[in-house]
Chain A
């Protein structure tokens, strides 16, 4: 069965510091991968999605970037964090073809920027 891992689970970082969040998926090949941010009491905001290695689409212009160096690895980065970057970051993998409507989320990383 498929499993998705995210780390770290929680993170407290000062403003201006860099960020690297990692997501890996097991049990599937060539998945669509997604990064979302969920602010307190708000819905999911899609940040990036990827349909393959090195293929990244950005949904929201901001100081975050994403990379997909391997088929089942998705990384979210920032060179300098802002207070507004605080939130719950979720990685998800999605089915392809006829199962493209399916999306499965990781456990999330809670980021607090101080």
Chain B
């Protein structure tokens, strides 16, 4: 089955530690995205990538980093510089051409900083 997988589902981190969230897709989509979701704030874009080896900052990139070495994978690292990292993180992907300009989402990772 085609889809987007995120791991782990739950992640706990101590203050001062970096942590990496995994996102993999087998939809053959060119574009991938990371969003952060906080209660009452909807989804906010952290980083996005249109193509392998290229990515751009979204609206709230400070304290986060990404890489895009493979088309299928777009891992997100939450660094110790992120002041309030506890949140629900959602990965998405989309085709960049044609009529299928729709973002499809993974199941999410809930990160809690202890």
Query: Do A and B belong to a common assembly?
Result: no
